[in-house]
Amino acid sequence: MTVERPDDRLPSVFRFSTELVAWVGMPWALAGRSWVLAVLSLVVLIGLPAVFATPGDKQRAVVPVPGWVTILLVLLEIAGALVAAWWIMPLWAALLVSVLAAVTLVTERPRWTWLLSLSSRADT
């Protein structure tokens, strides 16, 4: 059964917003402990998704991976945004980031279903 790629323009806005919080927040949160950890967080949060991609999800996949790996990378970004928000931000901002993360999780579900369908086709 072929699952069509869902329209992910709106989910992309929420996903990118969450990634942006993670990209800024995690290094900021870790900088007080270790600048090495701050830099490493950027390598993980920006570098891994730039290198590893599911074919069909991005125009070019430097290192092709199954859909479930892409989903795990998005979950890592969401977790990074949440950890950073609750670690360094005031309560109201952490709550806003939590709502953003929840919306991202909900809006990503059709894309994740599609990504998993790509993985199952590749496995057979």
In a domain, 5, yes or no: no
User: For residue 119, what pLDDT band results from cuts at 50, 70 and 90?
Assistant: low
Coil, strand, or helix at residue 56?
A: coil
25: which DSSP letter?
H
In a domain, 57, yes or no: yes
Average pLDDT of the segment spanning 1-7: 75
* Sequence-ordered strand ranges (E) for 63-117: 63-64
Residue 11 has what pLDDT? 94
Residue with tokens 């699952």: 3
Cα–Cα distance, 103 to 16 (Å, whole number): 12
Ramachandran bin of 52, using left for φ above 0, alpha for ψ from -120 to 50, beta for the remaining angles: beta
Average pLDDT of the segment spanning 5-28: 95
Per-chain mean pLDDT for the chain: 92
Residue 59 has what pLDDT? 82
Residue 5 has what pLDDT? 85
Q: 13, 29, 19: which is closest to 83 by C-alpha? A: 29
In a domain, 40, yes or no: yes
In a domain, 3, yes or no: no
pLDDT tens digits for range 44-86: 999 999 999 999 888 888 999 999 999 999 999 999 999 999 9
In a domain, 6, yes or no: no
In a domain, 64, yes or no: yes
Say if residue 1's pLDDT is above 60. no
Say if residue 89's pLDDT is above 90. yes
What percent of the chain lies above the pLDDT cut of 70? 94
Number of domains in the chain: 1
Cα–Cα distance, 32 to 70 (Å, whole number): 30
Residue 48 has what pLDDT? 96
Which domain does 56 fall in, by range?
Answer: 11-119
